[in-house]
């Protein structure tokens, strides 16, 4: 036999020489959940090891993560029902706890990369990412609200805005507003190919943000389709996005590859809540080795072509690599 592929697997030293893909905390963004008040650290029932923090404890958690090498964080707010309304007005109230927290995080840790979420659902009494009228999600009317939210977040000092709403035209609309208002340095990581997925379930538990009626299929993409991802990516490129994101990650590795092969922008992938919970649930029952399953799934996302991974495993990965 002239070709014996096993020769390149014969020892750890040889295996690491030919290893093509690597994992590093430098490529990870740690998503975190924020609640109002102080001294709260509440575990999300469907996401063992992941908590909702009030700002005082979140600052400590961020500091602990920074010591482990994590430098990028994406903060999502959990709002009580009493602060929600149909137009998500709390999202651009300058005194709201989310915006105040973002400001405080940036003031304490100016060197980190802070990302925020742009969509109506955490603040919406309808639980949808866009404005609802007569049971329909209105596109262009939603843009105005997303625009206000984006300016308020940029003003709070956020480094990267993450429009996760899937309205048409929002990247260009937000980019225009940011530039007109002196925020030309604020980046946009567009949720480019965001699918209507069952894997967001635990996240909606964490934020109490599940839709009050219907589903998100008129704006999030159909899991059966890949060509649409190219249309979305074309638009986001033209409209000025700095990163293109695919979400979820594991069931959409083909989409990550498709975008990474066709677009020069850095590709991000969101290893979503359900993907985290599945591994945790199985590992907690002793059904699989959680650390290895985590490592292997993160590797597969990078191998598919993602430069950046948003993952609830970031801290655990960092702890294990110490």
Q: Residues 238, 182: contact at Cβ < 8 Å?
A: no
* Interface pattern 188-227 for ligand PBG (x via CB under 6 A): ------------x--xx-----------x-----------
Q: Is 164 in the site for ligand PBG (CB under 6 A)?
A: yes
Strand partners, 221: 195
Kindly give, in sequence order, each residue whose CB lies less than 8 Å from that of residue 235, ignoring residues fewer than 6 positions away.
168, 169, 171, 172
How far apart are the C-alpha atoms of 120 and 306, rounded to whole Å?
27
CB atoms within 10 A of CB 65: 22
Smallest distance, Å, CB 180 to ligand PBG? Answer: 25
Residues 182-206: b if buried by 16+ CB within 10 A, e if exposed: ebeebbbbbbbbbbebebbebbebb
Smallest distance, Å, CB 158 to ligand PBG? Answer: 15
- Pick from 29, 73, 75, 117 the residue near ligand PBG by CB under 6 A: 117
- 213 exposure class (CB count in 10 Å sphere: 0-12, 13-18, 19+): exposed
Size of residue set near ligand PBG by CB under 6 A: 12
* Interface pattern 119-158 for ligand PBG (x via CB under 6 A): x-x-------x-----------------------------
Smallest distance, Å, CB 82 to ligand PBG? Answer: 20
Token digits for 40?
């709260």
> Does the annotation count 194 as an active-site position?
yes
Closer to ligand PBG by CB, 96 or 273: give it. Answer: 273
* Interface pattern 265-284 for ligand PBG (x via CB under 6 A): -------xx-----------
Task: State the catalytic residue, choosing from 84, 216, 247, 315.
Answer: 247
> Does the annotation count 315 as an active-site position?
no
Residues 76-95: b if buried by 16+ CB within 10 A, e if exposed: bbbbeeebbeebbebbbbee
Q: Is 294 in the site for ligand PBG (CB under 6 A)?
A: no
Smallest distance, Å, CB 62 to ligand PBG? Answer: 19
- State the DSSP code for 116: E
Which range touches ligand PBG (CB under 6 A), out of 114-122, 135-143, 176-184, 255-263?
Answer: 114-122
Task: State the catalytic residue, choosing from 194, 216, 280, 315.
Answer: 194
Strand partners, 42: 52
Closer to ligand PBG by CB, 203 or 313: give it. Answer: 203
Smallest distance, Å, CB 10 to ligand PBG? Answer: 40
Output the CA torsion sign for 44, 293, 284, 67: negative
Interacting residue ranges for ligand PBG, rule: CB under 6 A: 117, 119, 121, 129, 164-165, 200, 203-204, 216, 272-273
Catalytic residues: 194, 247
């Amino acid at each position: 036999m002239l070709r014996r592929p096993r020769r390149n697997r014969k020892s750890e030293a040889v295996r690491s020489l030919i290893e093509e893909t690597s994992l590093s905390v430098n490529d990870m963004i740690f998503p975190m959940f924020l609640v109002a008040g102080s001294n709260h650290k509440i575990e999300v029932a469907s996401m063992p090891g992941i908590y909702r923090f009030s700002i005082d404890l979140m600052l400590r958690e961020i500091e602990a993560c920074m010591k482990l090498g994590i430098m990028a964080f994406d903060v999502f707010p959990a709002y009580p029902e009493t602060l929600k309304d149909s137009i998500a007005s709390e999202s651009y109230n300058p005194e709201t706890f989310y915006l105040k927290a973002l400001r405080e995080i940036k003031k304490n840790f100016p060197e980190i990369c802070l990302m925020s979420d742009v969509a109506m659902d955490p603040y919406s009494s309808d639980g949808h990412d866009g404005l609802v009228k007569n049971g329909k999600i209105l596109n262009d009317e939603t843009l105005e609200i997303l625009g206000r939210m984006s300016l308020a977040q940029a003003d709070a000092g956020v480094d990267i805005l993450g429009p996760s709403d899937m309205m048409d035209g929002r990247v260009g609309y937000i980019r225009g507003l940011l530039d007109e208002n002196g925020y030309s340095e604020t980046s946009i990581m567009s949720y480019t190919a965001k699918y209507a997925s069952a894997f967001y379930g635990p996240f909606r538990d964490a934020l109490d943000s599940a839709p009050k009626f219907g589903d998100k299929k008129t704006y999030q993409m159909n899991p059966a389709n890949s060509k649409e991802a190219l249309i979305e990516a074309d638009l986001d490129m033209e409209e000025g996005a700095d990163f293109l994101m695919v979400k979820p990650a594991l069931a959409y590795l083909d989409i990550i590859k498709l975008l990474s092969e066709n677009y020069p922008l850095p590709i991000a992938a969101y290893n979503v809540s359900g993907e985290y919970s599945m591994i945790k649930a199985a590992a907690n029952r002793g059904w699989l080795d959680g650390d290895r399953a985590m490592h292997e799934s993160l590797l597969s996302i990078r191998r598919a072509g993602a430069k950046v991974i948003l993952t609830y495993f970031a801290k655990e990965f960092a702890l294990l690599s110490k």
